[in-house]
Structure 1
């Protein structure tokens, strides 16, 4: 019960911050929460350590931290991106004859936030909410190629990437060569790196600031795709990702 109360208090502290009152000192927070100043100080310090709060170096007062923004971005990506992508995913699936999906980076995985099945009797099952390993998927390798360097370091703490499928790239040097190729080509492919008999092509969705925010993927049984098919699918996936990126609302400059 004490643990639940502490969570309630932490949420109450975060709820103190609004557009009208973006910063608070410890004494003010203690007053608003009706707790002793020492309790408010420990709570604020904990939230700061977890990046939910940060301290303004000029005023020495607390304000909302980066982690709150990141969680908000996850929600926006899930809802807005999925809504924007839906008609494009349907068009992609119809055009290439295979399942399509949109994914976002979520920790060490790509989380699928929207998908469309194909009409082909033989297809790869995809489900919204499913999580797939970053290093062993076409969609995930895009985040390694176009995202922050520390993601690469986090995923290979032991010097190698975990094996997932028959052709998983386990060697960091091999993965770096793969990512360099992805950056040159503008798309990523997967040939049995996560599942036997399964292939995929993925292209990045960039926001108005040039940051990768999502991946668009066509996924298929390898037996159904020959080189001409692959070239056609690849072109449609890249085009779809570009169209979705163009629909994203530009970031407001301050």
Structure 2
């Protein structure tokens, strides 16, 4: 809890109890729960019995001791919320603003198997249009979107993907070994963004950054696509900065615990 006085101390204490139960590695007695949450014992008891009544907490009785734990009812609520989050509209205005700023289309992509699926696009008006429409599927290792996501996957999820490195058709496509690709992903994690330079097809480049969900798991990536020659120097720096800010905004809206509210 921060130092500001809560508009509703009762609600604040209830949320603190829930957060304490969820973050604890073991079931807690009422006394231990009150101490960890820094809430008076009588108040803590009132809250936790209410949570039990509403099926957000349960207790295990051992002799005269009662040990409390959270229930999966919280997970059910979170699942309903996740289903309501539409990535195609979660940051449409900000995507549009970035596209206007850099003069290139902006995309959101998610990982499905060993492929990236484009789920949203803020495109630019004009004669030249890039073949990056919502619904497009591309090998994850040939796109900046896919690399940005893969770089932040847990080892158990990344390992099977390393055996599915698709060959590229662009002039800069390289036949990377698993080790070489992992080294590239390490660079993505270090720099905060991924690059693709004429790997999937000639003349086209892309820059992308990952965003994260409420469980701090990588949920997708946002990227800018353009002609490779236009994504160098100062232009690329502006694209990278804009994407990092946009990814931060999306992560915040998805409930990522490591993001504060973006400055408006």
- What TM-score results when the alignment is normalised by the length of structure 2? 0.61
Match of 1:242 among 218, 231, 248: 248
Say how many residue pairs are matched.
177
Is 2:211 aligned against 1:181? no
Cα separation, 2, equivalents of 1:132 and 1:238: 22
Q: How far, CA to CA, are the matches of 1:249 and 1:173 in structure 2?
A: 33
Question: Is 1:76 equivalent to 2:83 in the alignment?
Answer: yes
SS at structure 1 position matched to 2:240: helix
Deviation string 1:137-156 (CA, Å, 9 cap, x unpaired) is 10101221101224433234
Decide whether aligned partners of structure 1 residues 120 and 227 sit closer, same or farther in structure 2, where only a CA change above 3 A counts. Answer: farther
Give the Cα–Cα distance (whole angstroms) in 2 for the partners of residues 155 and 209 of structure 1.
22
Alpha-carbon distance in structure 2 between the residues aligned to 1:195 and 1:136: 9
Correspondence 1:95 to 2:106:
no
Seen in structure 2, the aligned counterparts of structure 1 residues 173 and 128 have a Cα distance that, compared at 3 Å, is same
Hey, what does 2:13 align to over in structure 1?
A: none
Change (3 A) 1:112 1:76: farther
Q: Distance in 1 between matches of 2:169 and 2:239?
A: 23
Partner of 2:155: 149
Is residue 205–residue 215 contact of structure 1 (8 Å, CA) maintained in 2? yes
Show CA shifts across 1:156-184 (max 9, x none): 43xx7231233334221211111111111
3-state SS in 2 of match to 1:83: coil
Q: CA deviation at 1:120?
A: 5.3
Asked whether 1:113 is paired with 2:113, we answer: no
SS in structure 2 of the partner of residue 104 of structure 1: strand
In the other structure, the counterpart of 1:168 is: 173
**Which structure dedicates a bigger proportion of its chain to helix?**
1
Matches within 5 A, 1:13-52: none
Corresponding position of 2:11: none
Is the Cα–Cα contact under 8 Å of residues 139 and 202 in structure 1 kept in the other structure? Answer: yes
Please state whether the residue corresponding to 1:81 is helix, strand or coil.
coil
For residues 242 and 142 of structure 2, the distance between their equivalents in structure 1, rounded to whole angstroms, comes to 22
Moved over 6 A (4+): none
Structure 2 counterpart SS, 1:87: helix
Out of 214, 227, 231, the residue aligned to residue 220 of structure 2 is: 214
* Offset, 1:76: 3.1
Gaps of 5+ in 2: 1-75, 258-264
Separation (CA, whole Å) in 2 of partners of 1:89 and 1:143: 18
Q: Quick check: which has more Rg, 1 or 2?
A: 2
**8 Å contact 1:97–1:120 — kept in the other structure?**
no
Decide whether the 8 Å contact of 2:139 with 2:166 is kept in 1: no
